[in-house]
């Protein structure tokens, strides 16, 4: 079967605009064909094969990767767990949770409802001691909120982060001394506070006695997630282990899934999305949104309606492509936010003139239909919008299982010393 990639998905894979892709087609750099039945333009396979970044479409590395299983029982602590996207993904990869921390009450209730066997701690992380887990946990994970740090004296060390949630994440690592830790965050962390935030994080990782072995922004579309979400993933290995292993990010899946895959029975789910509650538009907004085509936004409206809807923003310039945005069946969803009907981040259903429902939100984040959410409708949207996509968490988890398996094999081959945080050396027993 020939590989088919639409022009829209091709632009997502390449990380460029549709306008640029159109210029490549016009110049003959890539060749395309229009499917009259679907009204979709596809890039020809011969053109796809010539692009190195698209090798994953033709060489299936995923099948072998998906066969990875834990060499032993790996225990994990997760901080800032939210409603469980990352935790669920790591569980499906083979990790055993020993503690899950989340300060939000509704999100904690969601975790407890779906996983009554998990040790869910609904507290401010600053109130949680991790000392009893010292040398008893393989990995710590979590997505700490991004905050500016102190730079007094430009020490760029552990104390510079005091008062921030990264400080608490680092404290947990210091108290537990896990083999590995993984931190995920928004793509913008790379440039936050002119790059100083990430610079400080790197310094603290080194100060804790760990080597940062991976620092990369992953696109969720490459990992069976029908959404254009990007997350910065940091992986660190304890210094006494780092020389013996190498970390590799998960390989890309050979297909890119779309909103249709998320909401309809098919490649991702074996049934259409269940009905659920959801927000609605005011009458006038619904009238205006009804005129937006699939994949379109406010610039697809008549000029008089553009002016009415955008008001003063009409004259400010810029694309503002999230405003009055209707999703397309044939593309991955835009990144979900905490609410689907906010003017700057519209997420309108592809054919029905309404915001996405709670269950549709969950599908796009690749939660199973069995995963229930607690709290008000507003709270449920917020929980889901803030989550790590489950399938992305699973892919990252599989790569970390491979890393820990390699550490385990190294342990079996040689008696490696453990360097404690106080500088003392001991040997494994």
Which pair of tokens denotes residue 274? Answer: 């269940």
Q: How many CA atoms lie within 13 A of 99 on its CB side?
A: 23
d(CA 68, CA 337): 33
* Residue 146 annotated among the catalytic residues of the structure: yes
**Whether 149 contacts 196, CB under 8 Å:** yes
∠258-110-99 over CA atoms, to 5°? 105
CA 20, distance to chain mean position in Å, is 26
Q: Of the residues 146, 338, 348, 374, which is catalytic?
A: 146
Which pair of tokens denotes residue 367? Answer: 């939660």
Q: How many CA atoms lie within 13 A of 198 on its CB side?
A: 18
d(CA 95, CA 97): 6
Q: Closest by alpha carbon to 107, among 396, 338, 317?
A: 338
Measuring CA to CA, how many Å separate 274 from each of 262, 269, 340, 424? Answer: 11, 11, 18, 56
Measuring CA to CA, how many Å separate 79 from each of 139, 182, 230, 334, 415? Answer: 11, 11, 20, 26, 31
> What is the 3 state secondary structure string of 368-407?
CCCCCCCCCHHHHHHHHHHCCCHHHHHHHHHHHHHHHHHH
Ranges of H-type helices in 95-180: 105-114, 165-176
**Whether 103 contacts 128, CB under 8 Å:** no
Q: Closest by alpha carbon to 111, among 141, 133, 79, 140?
A: 79
- The helix (run of H) or strand (run of E) holding residue 32 is strand 32-35
Which pair of tokens denotes residue 405? Answer: 């398996």
Catalytic residues: 146
């Amino acid at each position: 079967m020939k590989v088919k990639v639409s022009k829209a998905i091709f632009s997502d894979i390449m990380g460029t605009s549709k306008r640029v892709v159109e210029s490549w087609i016009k110049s003959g750099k890539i060749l395309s064909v229009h499917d009259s039945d679907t009204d979709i333009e596809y890039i020809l396979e011969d053109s796809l094969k010539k692009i190195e970044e698209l090798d994953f479409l033709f060489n299936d590395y995923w099948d072998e990767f998906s066969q990875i299983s834990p060499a032993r029982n790996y225990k994990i602590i997760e901080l800032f767990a939210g409603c469980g996207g990352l935790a669920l993904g790591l569980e499906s990869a083979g990790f055993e949770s020993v503690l899950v921390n989340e300060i939000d009450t509704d999100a904690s209730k969601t975790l407890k409802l779906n996983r009554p066997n998990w040790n869910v701690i609904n507290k401010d992380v600053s109130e949680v001691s991790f000392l009893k887990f010292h040398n008893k946990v393989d990995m710590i994970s979590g997505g700490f909120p991004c905050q500016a740090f102190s730079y007094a004296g430009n020490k760029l060390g552990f104390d510079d982060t005091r008062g921030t949630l990264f400080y608490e994440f680092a404290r947990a690592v210091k108290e537990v001394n896990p083999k590995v830790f993984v931190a995920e965050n928004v793509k913008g962390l790379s440039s936050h506070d002119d790059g100083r935030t990430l610079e400080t994080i790197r310094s603290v990782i080194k100060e804790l006695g760990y080597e940062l072995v991976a620092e990369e922004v992953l696109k969720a579309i490459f990992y069976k997630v029908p959404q254009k979400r990007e997350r910065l993933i940091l992986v660190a290995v304890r210094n006494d282990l780092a020389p013996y292993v190498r970390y590799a990010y998960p390989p890309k899946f050979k297909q890119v899934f779309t909103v249709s895959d998320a909401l309809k029975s098919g490649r991702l789910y074996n049934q259409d999305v269940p009905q659920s509650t959801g927000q609605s538009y005011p009458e006038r907004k619904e009238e205006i949104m009804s005129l937006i085509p699939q994949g379109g936004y406010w610039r697809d409206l008549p000029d008089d309606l553009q002016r009415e809807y955008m008001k003063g923003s009409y004259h400010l310039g810029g694309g503002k492509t999230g405003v009055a945005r209707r999703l397309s069946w044939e593309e991955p969803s835009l990144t979900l936010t905490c609410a689907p009907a906010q003017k700057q981040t519209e997420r309108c259903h592809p054919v029905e003139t309404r915001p996405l429902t709670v269950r549709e939100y969950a599908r796009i984040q690749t939660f199973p239909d069995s995963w229930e959410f607690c709290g008000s409708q507003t709270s449920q949207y917020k929980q889901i919008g803030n989550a790590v996509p489950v399938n992305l968490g699973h892919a990252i988890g599989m790569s970390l299982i491979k890393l820990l398996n390699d550490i385990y094999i190294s342990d079996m081959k040689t008696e490696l010393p453990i360097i404690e945080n106080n500088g003392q050396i001991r040997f494994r027993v």
